[in-house]
Every structure is written in C-alpha cells, then in structure tokens.
Amino acid sequence: MRRVPAPLIALAGLGLLFFLLPLAGLILRAPWDQAAAGITAPETATALELSLFCSLAATAIALVLGIPLALVLSRMTGKPRKVLRALTTLPMVLPPVVGGVALWLAFGRRGLVGSFLYQAFGLQITFTTAAAVMAETFVAMPFLVIAVEGGIRSLDPRYEEAARALGAGGWMVFARVTLPLLRPAIFSGAVLCWARALGEFGATITFAGNFPGRTQTVPVAVYVALETRPDAAIVLSLILLAVSLAILVGMRDRWLGAL
Amino acid sequence: MSLKARVKIIRAGFELDVLLDVDDGETVAVLGPNGAGKTTLLRALAGLASMDGRVELDGEVLEDSAQGLYVPTERRQIGLVFQDHVLFPHLTVLDNVAFGLQAQGRGDARQVARRWLERNVPRGARLAEEVKTAPLARSHFRSTHRYSLATRRTLDQYRENGYGYLVANRSVRLAYTREAHRYGAEVSFYRDLDRRGCLLFRFRPSEHRAGPVIEIWALDRGTHVCQPPNRRVPRHRFRPSVGSRVPPDDVGAEELP
C-alpha cells in the first residue's frame, strides 16, 4: 500500500467510525433475550410478511417492465436516449417522499389517473397494498434498469447478429440469445432492486400510509414502533440489517460491477 | 443462384465501394489486407451493416437504398459464418447446432442435431454428457470442432430451404467442406488464401459438377482494386486440398425431407 498522509488516515478512521458506531449501537443495545419473542410477535410477523410480499412483487413488476425499458434505452442514441435515461434514473436521486407525493398526485383519488379509475371503476389505490407495491416499484426499478442496460451495452452484438443470420426473428433472438446472455446483469439488478424495495420507507408511508397488515411494511413498522415499543423496532432493524449484510456478502464483486 | 450487388458504405476514414456480379455456379474469393473492407462487405450483404446500394440474390431484391427497400437479415437466404464462429456460449453444443433449424420452425430440430453430433463430433468420454447438458462456454470443446459447429449451424439453412447463399468470413476448412458437400455445394480449400484471411462466397450449384470457377478479387481500402489478369484461376494454383470429392460418410443427406 502506498503511504497515505497521517491526517488523512485520521479522517478516514473518523469516517469509518461514523459508519460503524450506529451499527455497533444497534447490535449492542439489541434486546437479544427478547429477539426470538420479538420476531415471532404477531405484529412483527405481519410486517415482515407484508414487506416480503411487497418487495418481491415490486421486483417482479420491475423485471417485466424494466428489462424491456433497458432494451429500448440501450438501442436508442443521441438526445432522446439522454432524456429518457435521465427520466428513468430520476427516482434514484429523487427524495422518496417526493416520489410518494408524485404517486399520490397521479394515482390518488383526485389524481391524474386515479380520479378516472375511481369514477369509472370505483377503484382506489391509495392506502392499499397495491399502493405499497407501486411505491416500492417506483423507487427500486431504476436500479434494475441501469444494471440491465449496462449488461446489454457490454454484450457482444455479434451473438444477436449470428442468431438473425441463422433466421431467428426478433422475439426468438430476445428469448433465446439476449435474455440468457443477460442473466448475470438481470440477477444483480434484481437483487439491488429487491434490496431497495425492501427498505423503502418515504414513498410508501406517503402514498400508501401506515395500516398494519395492509401497508405497514417493516421500515414503516420500525418508525412507528420506535415511539411505543423500541425493542420491537430494534429487532426489526436487526432483521433488515441481516438481510442487507447477506446481500452484500452474496454479491461482493457484482455489486458495483453491475452499475 | 446469382448474386448482384452494389455496396457503398462511407464511414469516417473508410470508404467501401464494390460492385459484385457473381453468376450461378461461380465462387468468388475476396482478398485484401486488414481493414480493406472484407468483413464490412459481407455484413452488408447479410443485412447487418447499413449501406447504400442494392443487393439482388437470384433475381430477388434484398436491399435497395434508392427505394428504401430492406429485407431483414433473418429473412435473407444468406448464411454467414463469422470469423471467430460466434457460437452461443450459454447454449449446449446440441442447442447450438439445432438453433438454425429451430429458427426455421423445424419441430425435430434437436433430434436432427443430435444425430449429426453423434456421427460427426469426434468422440470423447466426456463429450456425450456435455452435448446434452453443459453450456458451450463450460464444455471442453476444441476450437477445430467449434469451427465445424459454426459452419453446420449456418448450413442448416440450405437444408431447410433447398437453397441459400453462404458467405464465410474465413477461408474454408476441412470440417466445413465436408459439411458443405452434403448439401450439394462444392467448396474448395485454399491453403494459400487461408493465411491472408480470405472470404469465400458460395452458392448452391449442384448442377455445376464440372468444378467451381474461382474468381479472385482484391480489395484494398474499400475499393475493388483489380480483378487479377488470371480472372479464371487454374485450380491447381491454389492447391485445393479437398477439391470436389464427396467425402465417404455422406450422412445427413438422407435426412432431407
């Protein structure tokens, strides 16, 4: 390792400490003796179940819509591509609460699409599980799109050309050549997307609200429980931390390579 | 089957302008140094590179930039053997061979491919299982066999349609020659051209058993610089090592519908 000036080492250590202390606090102050009971408590189980369902549903939707979107993006050139790409990645930098407000304005009972849905079918999206899934998809899908688009760009175009020269039409080329070759990129994109969806808080609580069993996902439950039952909040936080760690260990090199 | 084409491609620092006129039963080899435009010419004929001009195969217009006409690659009867094969790494050896037939909608594509592999791929103890299960990228497949696979994959278009036009971004090797014979094509093997990376255009000329007429073109910096004085090259000059002899184990042919 090359020499790093001492003041910089000190600052680096401070930065690391800043990361590690909260995690240490979480682990040290956790009510380990009550952890088992906390996990099996009905409220915790409900929130966990809902979180798992919503994040997996969001990932599934992101896969169905995001892969074609990435494909279209990768085939575009010039200005339209830049604009579309910026729009797609906007939710990554947008404060999730703003995303929630935006979703509410679009799909709320008086929103752009929501008012039509309500008047025509009596359908209300806000404050339902569907709203939680939508909020998570909105925030998490860009992660998948970016990862898959990167995968497409690094793909050797001659595989698709060879398939076409062999007489395969557009759909067959996509299903038998492009999609399987993209599997690593799709996998890492889906994991990133799922992790982001699982931790989603701001957009969910804004657009879907906080109804146990319906829209109260784990992050929302943590926030609510912190005031009344801090032990439960800590247990739930530990679960999310464990999931994040598992993903980090499982992905290792892929993590940044995909982006 | 005749091929008439005018291919014009202008890119930064590169200009290709070639007039092709290949009669039925004729073979054209295009020579040229690196960057002369050999690959680009082939890609244009196959519809993989955008170009100005016109491509006409056996009277059917495949591309005419003046009229805005373009037949997509997958609907052209032009098979393309890539320089480094471009076999699909994620498919098994079997599925690689079957791909072309599947693309043509043949339901028994895998059975046909399996029969071909069983008879033609040199047996190795491990091969049998790998053919069925392991993706090509992870199987122990030697490069000589890869060549055979790539060619076979492309040649299946002949099988299905009864005709076709092959462009090979590589001079033709033994494995390929054996394959081509099964489809009634006569292909020769030119040792001398191999080193310089030639291309060989080929069509199905089973009526022309007299032996191929070989036309050699030189391509330099995108232009067809000369048609050598020996326009019709005596075959012995290039020592065709296989010639037009049909190899003994003529499998496959009976499987034709």
| Model confidence pLDDT, tens digit, residues B170-182 | 444 443 444 444 4
Predicted pLDDT at A70: 95
What average pLDDT does chain A have? 90
* pLDDT, greater one: A254 or A77: A77
Please say whether the dihedral angle defined by the alpha carbons of residues A79, A82, A86 and A89, taken in this order, is positive or negative.
positive
Predicted-complex ipTM score: 0.73
Q: How far is CA A14 from CA A17, A180, A241, A245, in A?
A: 5, 45, 22, 22
User: B99: which chain A residues are within 8 Å (Cβ-Cβ)?
Assistant: 163, 166, 168, 176
Decide if B86 and A162 are in contact by the 8 Å CB cutoff: yes
Q: Give the nearest chain B residue to A158 (CA atoms).
A: B86
* Bridge partners for B70 per DSSP: B63
pLDDT above 70 coverage of chain B, percent: 42
Predicted pLDDT at B176: 46
Judged by average pLDDT, the poorest of A203-207, A228-232, B155-159 is B155-159
Judged by average pLDDT, the poorest of A66-75, A92-101, A143-152, B97-106 is B97-106
User: Does the beta carbon of A180 lie under 8 angstroms from any beta carbon of chain B?
Assistant: yes
* Bridge partners for B253 per DSSP: none
User: B89: which chain A residues are within 8 Å (Cβ-Cβ)?
Assistant: 181
Residue among B160, B163, B218 nearest B32 (CA): B218
The Cα of B71 is separated from the nearest Cα of chain A by a number of Å equal to 12
Kindly tell me if the per-residue pLDDT of A193 is higher than 90.
yes
* pLDDT, greater one: A110 or A176: A176
User: B80: which chain A residues are within 8 Å (Cβ-Cβ)?
Assistant: 161-162, 165
Judged by average pLDDT, the poorest of A27-36, A170-179, B106-115, B168-177 is B168-177
B102: confidence class by pLDDT, cuts 50, 70, 90: confident
The Cα of B83 is separated from the nearest Cα of chain A by a number of Å equal to 11
User: Does the beta carbon of A61 lie under 8 angstroms from any beta carbon of chain B?
Assistant: no
* Bridge partners for B63 per DSSP: B55, B70
Those residues whose C-beta lies under 8 Å from the C-beta of residue B10, and which sit 6 or more positions away, are B16, B52
Judged by average pLDDT, the poorest of A13-22, A28-37, B50-59, B142-151 is B142-151
Q: Measured between alpha carbons, how far is B53 from B67 in angstroms, rounded to an integer?
A: 10
Q: Give the nearest chain B residue to A167 (CA atoms).
A: B74
Kindly tell me if the per-residue pLDDT of A228 is higher than 60.
yes
Predicted pLDDT at A51: 94
The Cα of A161 is separated from the nearest Cα of chain B by a number of Å equal to 7
Decide if A168 and B103 are in contact by the 8 Å CB cutoff: yes
Kindly tell me if the per-residue pLDDT of B205 is higher than 60.
no
Was domain A51-256 assigned CATH 3.40.50.10490?
Answer: no
Predicted pLDDT at B223: 61
Which of B62, B88, B156, B170 to mutate to test binding with chain A, by most A CBs within 10 Å of its CB? Answer: B88
* pLDDT, greater one: B129 or A126: A126
**Pairs of CB atoms within 8 A across A/B:** 59
pLDDT digits (tens, 9 = 90+) for B225-257: 544 433 443 333 333 333 333 333 333 332 322
Kindly tell me if the per-residue pLDDT of A177 is higher than 70.
yes
Q: How far is CA B113 from CA B92, B94, B101, B117, B163, in A?
A: 11, 6, 9, 6, 19
* Bridge partners for B5 per DSSP: B20, B55
pLDDT digits (tens, 9 = 90+) for B108-155: 888 888 877 777 665 554 555 666 677 777 666 665 566 666 666 666
Strands B26-31 and B199-203, by their bridges, are antiparallel
Kindly tell me if the per-residue pLDDT of B161 is higher than 90.
no
For residues A98-125, average pLDDT: 91
B219: confidence class by pLDDT, cuts 50, 70, 90: low
Predicted pLDDT at A9: 95
* pLDDT, greater one: A45 or B222: A45
What average pLDDT does chain B have? 63
Decide if A163 and B82 are in contact by the 8 Å CB cutoff: no
Kindly tell me if the per-residue pLDDT of A174 is higher than 80.
yes
Token pair for residue A73?
């993006």
User: Does the beta carbon of B88 lie under 8 angstroms from any beta carbon of chain A?
Assistant: yes
Judged by average pLDDT, the poorest of A31-35, A68-72, A152-156, A161-165 is A31-35
pLDDT digits (tens, 9 = 90+) for B6-36: 888 888 877 888 887 777 656 666 666 666 6
Q: Measured between alpha carbons, how far is B64 from B71 in angstroms, rounded to an integer?
A: 9
Strands B165-168 and B78-81, by their bridges, are parallel
Domain definitions of chain A by residue range: 51-256
Kindly tell me if the per-residue pLDDT of A40 is higher than 70.
yes
Decide if B48 and A180 are in contact by the 8 Å CB cutoff: no
Judged by average pLDDT, the poorest of A110-119, A139-148, B142-151, B208-217 is B208-217
